[in-house]
């Protein structure tokens, strides 16, 4: 009996899947990560920010 093997998918399919995942990560996750970065401010701005929150 001869086994019929399915043809392997070319690597371009796997590369395209990885590319799509990376693009989705850049579109969805990067803006969220960028807004969570620490922003440096001068001391007067820091004091005014703390006074506004209390």
Q: Residue 21: in which H helix or E strand, if any?
A: helix 11-35
CA 24 – CA 18 distance, rounded (Å): 10
pTM of the model: 0.48
Residue 37 gets which letter from DSSP? S
Residue 53 gets which letter from DSSP? H
CA 16 – CA 20 distance, rounded (Å): 6
Residue 23 — φ and ψ, nearest 5°? Answer: -65, -45
* Segment 1-54, tens digit of pLDDT: 577 777 777 888 999 999 999 999 989 888 887 777 788 899 999 999 899 875
């Amino acid at each position: 009996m001869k086994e019929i093997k399915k043809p392997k998918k070319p690597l371009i399919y796997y590369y395209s899947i990885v590319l799509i995942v990376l693009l989705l990560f850049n579109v969805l996750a990067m803006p969220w990560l960028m807004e969570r970065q620490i922003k440096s401010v001068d001391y007067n701005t820091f004091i005014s920010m703390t006074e506004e929150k209390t």
